[in-house]
Amino acid sequence: MNEVQAILKNFKGVIDSTLREGFQFSRANFSLADQKGIFDRLSRIGVDYIEMGNPAKPEIRDMVSSTIGPRERRTVRVLCHIRNHASDVEAAIACGVDGVNILCTADSERLAGMGLTLDTYLDRLEENVRSAHSRGLEVRVGVEDFFGQPETLSREIHLLAESAGVERIAVADTLGRVMSWDVRDKIRKLRHIISTDIEVHFHNDLGHAVGNAMAAIQSGANWVSTSLLGIGERTGITPLSSLLVNLYVLDPGIAERYDLSLLTEAEGFVARLCGIDMPPHLITNPVNGFAHKAGIHLNALLKFGPQKYEPLPPGVIGNRRNLVIKSPISGRTTEAEIEEFNRRFGG
């Protein structure tokens, strides 16, 4: 099985965390109306799950309940990201969500700081999983800083979670510094010892989040945590648009259940809410995503068509092409040639 076949076989979906991880972005101060706007856009794009914050805090609980609305009217499943605490499980149940993402630690210093042994912590986890399942919630158990912690401790948490029947286990590159070869190695090892679905959450401090997500899927992971624009703590996480475009380029069929044409507007909406320019490196950037300026590029586009320098048609993701002329590096391309090109291929 080659890499593309492995990705097509393993990938199961997207768990978008704009309303949880994205809220941790320093410029994100979403009002209730903002959150509803984001929730609606993610629902229409068709993400498989939307993850929200910990309702243990009353203000977060009210935000979650007000944003998601009645379960029977939702088109997407909603999860709350909680700690390994019974009170957090009860708070999530009160919100009317579909499941909980229980965040665990394998850090001995953190456990000692909480006055817990690993055995006590695992007993608590088992009880919380049982409690959530008994109330009709699905459960994901995740380990913070999976790639930086001793594998033996993480393994105990994952094996217990699997024996408890959780729907997914999750691993996070919390520091954003893991390399793709380490991702492949550790995800393959994890897949050998568990059969439960694996979700991955990659931070982008060194710019590796998208590549690491693809490497993880190829190696046996099934679900990817994303956010619009990739916003989140520090430099953020895997951008939803970048992940879906990568999947589309590999095989349009794998991304057909998502409405990619809504991505550019959705990410532009979040950029406006955060008061930032669209990141120039994102393909959904309306100015730069499909901009062509160099004379050699413009000449080839005019002669042979956009496929020479574009990985996919801009309309697929709701974007537009931007041909830049009259610059020192743009050659002799004329406005008349641009008009003819746009007539043939669209703007």
Q: Is 81 tagged catalytic?
A: no
Paired tokens of 311: 């990985």
Q: What is the Cα–Cα distance from 292 to 330, expressed in whole angstroms?
A: 9
Paired tokens of 104: 């665990």
Q: What is the Cα–Cα distance from 303 to 212, expressed in whole angstroms?
A: 36
Positive or negative torsion for Cα 72, 74, 76, 78: negative
DSSP 65-131: HHHH--GGG-SSEEEEEEES-HHHHHHHHHHT-SEEEEEE---HHHHHHTT--HHHHHHHHHHHHHH
Of these residues, 81, 158, 292, 297, which one is catalytic? 297
Paired tokens of 261: 């044409």
Q: What is the Cα–Cα distance from 114 to 112, expressed in whole angstroms?
A: 5
Query: 229-249 as b/e, with b when 16 or more CB fall inside 10 Å?
Result: bbbbbeebbbbbbbbbbbbbe
C-alpha distances out from residue 288 to 227, 270, 309, 320, Å:
20, 17, 13, 10
Partners of residue 201 on adjacent β-strands: 172
The answer to whether 279 and 267 have CB atoms below 8 angstroms apart is no
Q: What is the Cα–Cα distance from 347 to 342, expressed in whole angstroms?
A: 5
Amino acid at residue number 111: L
Which residues are designated catalytic?
297
